[in-house]
A and B are shown apart, each in its own frame.
Chain A
């Protein structure tokens, strides 16, 4: 076989496999596409007037930094605590109804946190909420109820709607854990809880770290919930800057700091993952016997049911009640279906087509990156693949800001079209597509492709006829994930939408922030339903749901 070895390859430490320049070029272009908005924000932040930096350093940055980190810390620990305990209860114990609860604990992922926040706020708002009012009417005097506002409220709501990330990842880890690990610990004299603490949880660490990372980055990027519950973080402060003064340098400065923070968290995760390796033999796997909860069974069930109640039953139930209220009131009903020249059908259609297009584009762009990284593993391809994951770390507000500034200067014809929103979705959610494509490709032996090549196919047709059909389910899962997260996206859509172009998420947000809850409810319910579909497809691929 002929091998082309350019003189500079030693720099890249190429392995024995040949090197595809076309693939490298394609992957490089994708990385460049991802890099542009990021680089632009840093340039803007660095180029901001020293006065803007000085003003922000004096007043806001430290407070925002404290607020943001505190919230990230609280929600991540809360999500870890709930996620791991729920995963343990449904996977490793004889909890009653665990097959049903498994689904119920994962489904809150279909509910955007800000919709959950709107519902809980309407129920629990101090003095004005439904529950305090009912209690006051019952007892004839105000009764103390916990407030969903401020730090504790925001931490509570965000924990409720992000714990499923940890739950799913640690559930899968519990399931695949070899029974013999714990048995060995017990044989060596550990008590059950010691075995859990010293053996099981450390072995779960990769899954836990991945879940915690997702939660932490989600909280950094969160806009809707914190704005609603009046807790100020970097993301919401950037929004305030953008809708405050006629000057974008302050917003750029804050964005620069926020992105640095996110990159720091990513780096921390890479370090954490790198410290320990856990290897298991696949052969001889058998499930560990479930732990008998005994007299704790009822309490454990109540705990799990309580989590499901707060994160799934309450939001869906209240949205249903409001929707019925809207359907019964002709004036509201008319507003729901026709607001200005647009109606609910347009919002649904806008949500669906932008998210679908983003899902398709993200997978298409992820493919060369993943192919390059999996088939030609070297420093360059690894670097490109990792770089394409950085979108996770860039909050929607920041992507939107950089796109507003960039597109209007470089591609004015694209400006104020929905395609800019699609670009933002792709940039923000491509990591999910890259990870899905990579894992699909890794499971496929390259020998199949090589056999096709030896049978006389060109590289292209071998890929199209052999590789692509085999990795298609994995790619679809990646697309479903991008679709799901794009559907829920709020801040970038809010900033980038052209006049008259609203998605379901934006409409729900606008109506609810004007206080028209009944009017917003049908749209919110549609959004939850539209998210539940790809989610259930994804969950059925997880082996804990098989």
Chain B
């Protein structure tokens, strides 16, 4: 039969293709013995490390991979294995593995998860080289974690669908019925969204936050799994407004879409711009602490910080690293003041709230 012959040809081409691509070794799946190094030993700057570095990341893969590639260019002997998922998914894995650690480094998109995990004793304190320059509020207690970059929660809009006069100025405008069915946001599994809700709970209290969430749901906001979907949907005009982190606006703009950005809640009596920070930490009992520390050093180094700023339009926490041209400096805006330690402690209540209102 013709079809069968076609399938055989297809099968052969699959195998040929597989054979052409190098490094398909079954042995790579077994866990090798990695020489133990004292967790406190610091690696002299510039000395290359080796072995296998396992990174658990709440940052999505495309937002971390370029940094890993640059790190590998400096440390070609390190094999980096990345497992990316939602913050809490990865955090759950770290909690589950506490007695049997698999990961070396944890990278997250907001501070509440990393702080909650630090309180559970998941991390090995480590102060990366040059970390003193990072503002104190972005360094974990006893160096349990280190902040990397800052991002702002903004509203992006499609300039063909929304005129300048009708632009919202506050995240509370998003519950206005005139936007019914026209807004996209990320859902309850997204770390940045979770963190925004946690920040709102602290700033305004449980009732007002609940009312806001219920307003969003009543306004038929479409909740996606992640912000990439949100920015693309706003870019193509599927939605007029999107509640995102600021760099999603810049990423979409770079693709040539007609989009604009609003830094909300700047008026008198309004809460101010909600920001958060990404962070990294060394896992306690990490199989390869030397590589973990070298990677942490790289993340905080001017070179690593520059990558976050250049490739992903983020606000580097290391002073002196330039923003990508065109990115609005945070100094131009009034920022909401959120206490990280307190928000981390009340993070569980944030999950309860999301579940109570039925946030998708």
Contact = CB atoms under 8 A, between A and B. Distances in A.
Interface of A: 55, 59-60, 63, 103, 125-128, 133, 227, 230, 232, 240, 242-246, 248, 337, 339-341, 343-346, 348-350, 352-353, 404-405, 408, 412, 415-418, 497-501, 510, 513-516, 526, 529-530, 532-533, 536, 540
B24 A346 contact: yes
B10 A499 contact: no
B18 A246 contact: no
Given A128-B238, A246-B92, A346-B28, 15 more contacts: A55-B355, A59-B358, A60-B358, A127-B237, A230-B222, A243-B85, A339-B61, A340-B82, A343-B22, A345-B22, A498-B29, A499-B54, A500-B54, A500-B80, A532-B10
B3 A232 contact: no
B7 A533 contact: yes
Contacts of B355: 55, 59-60, 244
Contact of B88 (A60, A243, A418, A532): A243
B226 interface: yes
B102 interface: yes
Contact of A417 (B30, B82, B222): B30
Contact of A348 (B14, B83, B89, B222): B14
B271 to A, nearest CB: 25
Given A59-B355, A246-B88, A246-B92, A128 B237 contact: yes
Contacts of A404: 96
B115 interface: no
Size band of the B side of the interface? Answer: 35 or more
A198 B131 CA distance: 80
Nearest to B53: A499
Nearest to A532: B7
Contacts of A533: 7, 10-11
B172 interface: no
Contacts of A337: 21
B189 A341 contact: no
Given A128-B238, A499-B54, A515 B228 contact: yes
A513 B92 contact: no
B226 A514 contact: yes
Contacts of A240: 188-189
12 contacts: A60-B355, A103-B3, A127-B238, A133-B236, A244-B188, A245-B88, A345-B18, A499-B81, A513-B225, A513-B226, A513-B229, A514-B226
Contacts of B103: 499
B189 A243 contact: yes
A245 B354 CA distance: 10
Contacts of B35: none
Contacts of B232: 128, 515
Interface of B: 3-4, 7, 10-11, 14, 17-18, 20-24, 26, 28-31, 54-56, 60-62, 65, 68-69, 72, 79-86, 88-89, 91-92, 95-97, 99-100, 102-103, 116, 188-189, 222-223, 225-226, 228-229, 232-233, 236-239, 348, 351-352, 354-356, 358, 360
Nearest to A352: B18
Given A125-B238, A232-B360, A500-B83, A416 B95 contact: no
Contacts of B228: 514-515
B19 to A, nearest CB: 8
A346 B239 CA distance: 38
A100 to B, nearest CB: 8
A250 to B, nearest CB: 8
B86 A243 contact: yes
Nearest to A515: B228
B14 A499 contact: no
Contacts of A417: 29-31
A99 to B, nearest CB: 9
A499 B91 contact: no
Contacts of B79: 341
B250 to A, nearest CB: 16
Contacts of A514: 60-62, 226, 228
Contacts of A529: 7, 10-11, 14
Nearest to A529: B10
Given A416-B31, A500-B54, A515-B229, A345 B23 contact: yes
Given A339-B65, A408-B97, A128 B236 contact: yes
A246 B21 contact: no
B23 A230 contact: no
A536 B103 CA distance: 41
Of B29, B60, B62, chain A has the most CB atoms within 10 Å of the CB of B29
B254 to A, nearest CB: 14
Given A127-B237, A513-B226, A340 B68 contact: yes
Contact of B4 (A227, A349, A497, A536): A536
A86 to B, nearest CB: 18
Given A243-B88, A244-B88, A345-B18, A498 B102 contact: yes
